[in-house]
Amino acid sequence: MIVDFPDTNIAKISKALVKIREEGGAVALGRVLTLIIRTSLGHEEDAIEAANEASREHPMRVIVVSTDSETDGARSGRGARLDAQIRVGGDAGASEVVLLKAYGAAASDEEGLVTGLLLSDAPVVVWWPGDSPDTVSTSSLGRIAQRRITDASNHSNPVESLIRLSESYSPGDTDFAWTRLTLWRAQLAAVLDQPPYEPVLSVEVQGASDSPSTLLLAAWLGHQLQVPVSYGLTARANGSSGIHSVKLVRASGTIDLTREVPNVATLIQPDQPTHTLALPRRNLRDCLAEELRRLDPDDLYGEVISVGLSELFESSEVGFQSRP
């Protein structure tokens, strides 16, 4: 069910939610958290679809705050206005979706827009699918959240975005560029957990020029293994985007994990047959569902983004301030 509320206010929306629950028999007792999605007008649906799918694993209330990207709150010349839409039932998965479209001065107080709609005593997670504030932890929405999710891959310069995230990191921050590494990290860890148990001497990571995950994977390997890491970000005419390959050099030979086509990787190890592995690029639903499984800070991500990334740039003879 979808109910529209043109030119409304938060009090009316809150009352409408109560009425819809009473009339439809839906209750909020099963909601385990509140997910706030901060996006711009016209870019809501992909994020809502991912949240609806993730809600089947994590029942929640979804609040979408959408504003005109060409305006900045009170500086807009348009009149203050708030349009809203409530989605429940089949249109909202296992969640309640409240879509807030704010114009003009109504967009200047994002925290005020959502405060009256938060579930009582439930954790708050904020997700910026597109552009995010310079320091998400101190932003109007970030400061009320236990977890703050960004996505560097959707920025015009993903590497610049990662550097900004590293400089402003606060416990509770995370980025989908890190979440997309889960399958790669699991596969590499499994390989290194097999004989011969030799130390890794050096690492080489290759990926697409628009892949912040490539940098984070290189930073993770360098930080965890404490070895020299070289990395390359290049355009590729064919094959997969994202991470292309990882090479781990040991005394007995080189372990080569390469993904030249989407979703399929090839693992080559010394004195072993070549293996073909399923290694798909993770979609928004999978990334969001994984991040919602933990509401405590991701300490490993914190180490990699705030320490490992700097170590990577320094060891690669690329200054941290030179923006590779």
pLDDT at position 117: 95
In this structure, which amino acid lies at residue 324?
A: P
DSSP 8-class letter at 125:
E
In this structure, which amino acid lies at residue 40?
A: S
pLDDT at position 78: 55
pLDDT at position 188: 97
- Give 251-261 pLDDT, tens digit per residue: 999 999 999 88
Angle in degrees, CA 210, 216, 218, rounded to 5: 105
pLDDT at position 26: 52
- Give 199-223 pLDDT, tens digit per residue: 999 999 999 988 999 999 999 999 9
Q: What is the pTM of this model?
A: 0.90
d(CA 259, CA 243): 7
- Residues 6 or more apart whose Cβ sits within 8 Å of residue 232: 204, 205, 206, 207
pLDDT at position 237: 46
Hey, what are 5's tokens? 């509320």
Q: Which domains does the chain have, with CATH numbers?
A: 2-176 (no CATH), 177-316 (3.30.360.10)
Q: Which of 13-27, 73-87, 118-132, 301-315 has the lowest mean pLDDT?
A: 73-87
d(CA 204, CA 92): 44
Q: What is the mean pLDDT of the chain?
A: 89
